[in-house]
Amino acid sequence: MRFPFALSAKIAGHIIKHKLRKTPKFAMVLQLEPLHTCNLTCTGCGRIREYSTSLKDMVPLEKCLAAAQECDAPMVSICGGEPLIYPKIEELVAGLREQGRIIYICTNGVFMRKKMREYLAAIYDSSNPSHESYLKQLLAENLISVKEAETIRNADATAKNKVVIAPSQWMYWNVHVDGLEFTHDLIVEREGVFKECVAAIKMAKILGYQTATNTTVYKETDVQELEDMFKFLSSLNVDGHTISPGYEYDAAKKDMVKRLGKQPEDFFLTRKMTRQKFAKILDWGRLFTIFGTPVYQEFLAGKRELTCTAWAIPTYNIRGWKAPCYLMTDGHYDGYQEMLTKVKWENYGVVDGKARDPRCENCMVHCGYDPSGALGTNYQSGDNWKNFKYNFWPRPQPFPSSEELTKRAFNGASIGKGHLAEAKAAINSPRAAMNGAQSVFQRREEPHEAHFSSHCGSGDTSERDALLAKIAEARRPE
């Protein structure tokens, strides 16, 4: 089966229950943002920009759990910010499991291996041969160091008693991957992140975790590269992929103009462009374990229209229930039911090709339209069978791994072609390479403090900033 039976059955049961009760609007997935702090500053990320004045604030654990209870979505996607920075992330996962939720931890992957080492330290038992064989395999594949293996073996009582994130069929690591190495590191604005994500996915698979990836497609995304990315991730036995077109967040747009000197139309997709980029999504759905209904995939490919059901994937964060959707903010509410009642939902979305709000015009994102496919809005004959078959039929076979595929995947920093390479060259030979280095960043000169301070917690841009400072220094007339 494409998804574990228990998960598919739980979601199907939730929909049937509400259909029988004739509930007009209900939640399918809660996007829970316990904090907006992040260790990265990805281009196109609206979160760290929209909430830049409250990056250090956190939603208390009890409030996170109460929000999940109130909206009662069967799935909770813990996002942010980087949720693995949330100090009570383990307790949050445990609490949501106690409530019977399916959990996705949406992470940039950088802290995943640390969390899995903590899990190993908590469970390690020298008399259990499978634990030692895990360590040997992880060491053989360079996924942990000898020192880390020793720390796991000699864990003290505090490490043994720590609440940890353990593998479960109810939980997925959902790793952000926006392309192969060069592209991904460029988008997350830091070299080495793709490599870390791959290491984390490999470690997770060895330890029996379920893993998924989420990818945002931008104007610059190359479709062939996307296919290679899915092949590579499938060869790592990744359990599923979410893919969604990039949307022009107001906050991300402003950042792009101010910090990167880019125009939003150079980066984000219009509706027409989305349909061109996603023309092959139905084929990808057959070849790879793409999450999302086939109805939503048909919508992305331009084969049908759907009406936005943003209320089905609500977002809860430090300011409350964010309305109308994950992307756009017209207000925050104290309660989910209050938000359902007070928001004028009929003012949003695109109906029959006409945007009811101009900001919705180019939006086809999964958090607005994927539930529409599952809930039967714009129902066409055969849709239910199509969705059932997609979920309950056998999942596509993993793509065979090969040296050639791995080589194609590691096409950036690993082979000295990272996006910072030209800048590094500029430092070594400043005058000769100056123009090239500038074009890499396409960024206007501005004082350092103009965007984010560089300590962890508000987005570390130190690697790039240090290079830019050295380049500026080299450019100064003698």
Q: Give the residues lining the site for ligand SF4 (CB under 6 A).
A: 38, 40-42, 45, 47-48, 80-82, 108, 176, 188, 308, 310, 324-325, 327-328, 348-349, 359-360, 363, 365, 368
CA 317 to chain centre: 16
For residues 55 and 122, which CB has a smaller minimum distance to ligand SF4 in the complex? 55
DSSP string, 273-310: HHHHHTTTHHHHHHHS-B-S-HHHHHHHTTSS-----G
Q: What type of residue is 248?
A: E
CB 323 within 8 A of CB 274: no
Minimum CB separation from ligand SF4 for residue 312, in Å?
Answer: 10
Which single residue is written with the structure tokens 């698979």?
205
For residues 81 and 240, which CB has a smaller minimum distance to ligand SF4 in the complex? 81
Q: What type of residue is 302?
A: G
- The two three-digit tokens of residue 3, written as one number: 């998804």
- Residue 463 CA to residue 40 CA, distance in Å, equals 11
What are the residues whose beta carbons fall under 8 Å from the beta carbon of 121, sequence distance 6 or more? 151, 152, 155, 159, 160, 162
CB 30 within 8 A of CB 59: no
For residues 52 and 235, which CB has a smaller minimum distance to ligand SF4 in the complex? 52
Minimum CB separation from ligand SF4 for residue 462, in Å?
Answer: 15
DSSP string, 332-353: EES-HHHHHHHS-GGGSSEETT
- Residue 241 CA to residue 234 CA, distance in Å, equals 9
Minimum CB separation from ligand SF4 for residue 61, in Å?
Answer: 20
What stretch of H or E contains 316?
Answer: strand 315-317
Minimum CB separation from ligand SF4 for residue 279, in Å?
Answer: 21
For residues 40 and 420, which CB has a smaller minimum distance to ligand SF4 in the complex? 40
Minimum CB separation from ligand SF4 for residue 212, in Å?
Answer: 15
For residues 104 and 124, which CB has a smaller minimum distance to ligand SF4 in the complex? 104
For residues 41 and 215, which CB has a smaller minimum distance to ligand SF4 in the complex? 41
Minimum CB separation from ligand SF4 for residue 327, in Å?
Answer: 5
For residues 48 and 238, which CB has a smaller minimum distance to ligand SF4 in the complex? 48
For residues 121 and 233, which CB has a smaller minimum distance to ligand SF4 in the complex? 233
Minimum CB separation from ligand SF4 for residue 409, in Å?
Answer: 20
Pairing of strands 320-324, 240-245: unpaired
What backbone torsions phi and psi does residue 216 show, to the nearest 5 degrees?
Answer: -105, 135
Q: Name the residue with the smallest CB distance to ligand SF4.
A: 368
Minimum CB separation from ligand SF4 for residue 31, in Å?
Answer: 11
